[in-house]
Amino acid sequence: MIDNFVYNAHPGRVLFGTGTLDRLPEEVERLGIERALVLATPHQRGVAEDLSRMIGTRAAGVFADATMHTPVEVTDRALREVQNRGIDGLVAVGGGSTTGLAKAIALRTDLPQIVVPTTYAGSEMTPILGETQNGAKTTQSSPKVLPEVVIYDVDLTLNLPFDLTVTSGMNAIAHAAEALYAKERNPIISLLAEEGIAALWRALPALRAHPTDLGARSEALYGAWLCGICLGSVGMALHHKLCHTLGGSFDLPHAETHTALLPHALRYNAPDAPEAMSRLSRALGTDNPSRSLFNLAADLGATMALRDLGMPEDGIERATDLALQNPYWNPRPLERDALRDLIAAAWAGECPA
């Protein structure tokens, strides 16, 4: 017996494989973009300039100031470039920071977006935007921010540093794990979530031994794509609320914060989400998903203590209070003492009991 459910599919065109970046010019032309602004972080300015040359006369410039957590002041600067250059389309290359900037611009202008991911962030598959202003991060959902085209080229991930490979992959797993117990969960998304988690679980250890292995990189990017679909199709819960709270309040690195928090959030919700834990166990081949994910990330060299990511100890109480304000739906009710214990354990880097 399958329970009643609602499934919302999001429009979007995906090109997946190796060498797919070569099709960028034709995708720009297909969307009718005449003056594209190429977005990147300062670190990936060179890649953005390469893409600008690839697009040719349809490129109108590069803006390489994308920043973690999408600060509104950076978006405002980019918008001035959009206006001054007569931009009619966006090409974003990089991870969640660059995708976030493209989305923030699209929210305000409704310009078409082509996103070329180089990490496993997954944001490119969602209509969700998180922005930071005055030390607070807020999220919203709008069809305006969903990219029109996503080009997944496995070749672009071959040189992804291994530490970022691990945390970006764990970030992707978090999207799918919470989708398994989200309020809007449904059988279709649960299938995608289980498949995406399993693909990343297989790929991450393999990439430690052979970081440029094309097969493992392909499986990791495939898994991240599926996990991103999950994030964009159903609501999230406690884990994502905590990550947004901590990232915006203490300026913690995004993927690393997801990595450190995920095992503890899963442990908190496990008693009230038995079906989700069963699917997680099947995907991971383990009877203790929270501990297994902690051990995997730690064994692969990830930082598992929030204190080592820059969170002060006196921030535990503040983070607890903030997490209780405007909380996301969660399968287990939010209990202040238990929530504080969760954050404290993640701050100390303790393995979930």
Query: For the domain that residue 111 is a member of, what is the CATH number?
Result: 3.40.50.1970
Same domain, 94 and 151: yes
Please say which residue of 157, 173, 194 terminates a domain.
157
Please say which residue of 140, 157, 174 terminates a domain.
157
Residue 24: both structure tokens together = 């960028």
Please say which residue of 157, 191, 208 terminates a domain.
157
Q: What is the pLDDT of residue 224?
A: 97
> Are the CB atoms for 264 and 349 separated by under 8 Å?
no
Our CA angle for 125, 72, 317, nearest 5°, is 90
> Are the CB atoms for 118 and 150 separated by under 8 Å?
no
Same domain, 205 and 143: no
Residue 246 sits at φ, ψ, to 5 deg, of -70, -40
pTM over 0.75: yes
Residue 109: both structure tokens together = 């202008």
Q: Which residues contact 66 (CB under 8 A, 6 or more apart)?
A: 39, 40, 41, 74, 92, 94, 97, 98, 100, 101
Q: What is the pLDDT of residue 243?
A: 94
> Are the CB atoms for 121 and 128 separated by under 8 Å?
no
Same domain, 179 and 126: no
Number of domains in the chain: 2
For residue 45, what are the CA distances in angstroms to 50, 55, 223, 231, 317?
9, 15, 27, 28, 39
In a domain, 222, yes or no: yes
| pLDDT tens-place values along the chain, 353 residues long | 788 888 888 888 999 999 999 999 999 999 999 999 999 999 999 999 999 999 999 999 999 999 998 999 999 999 999 999 999 999 999 999 999 999 999 999 999 999 999 999 899 999 989 999 987 888 888 999 999 999 999 999 999 999 999 999 999 999 999 999 999 999 999 999 999 999 999 999 999 999 999 999 999 999 999 999 999 899 899 999 999 899 888 999 999 999 999 999 999 999 999 999 999 999 999 999 999 999 999 999 999 999 999 999 999 999 999 999 988 999 999 999 999 999 999 999 999 98
60 beta partners: none
Same domain, 43 and 187: no
Q: What is the pLDDT of residue 3?
A: 81
User: What is the extent of the structural domain holding 262?
Assistant: 162-348
> Are the CB atoms for 92 and 105 separated by under 8 Å?
no
Same domain, 338 and 230: yes
Same domain, 185 and 140: no
Distance between CA 259 and CA 304 in Å, rounded?
7
> Are the CB atoms for 262 and 238 separated by under 8 Å?
no
> Are the CB atoms for 293 and 266 separated by under 8 Å?
yes
Same domain, 170 and 267: yes
Q: Compute the CA torsion angle 197, 172, 233, 335 (nearest 10 deg).
A: 90
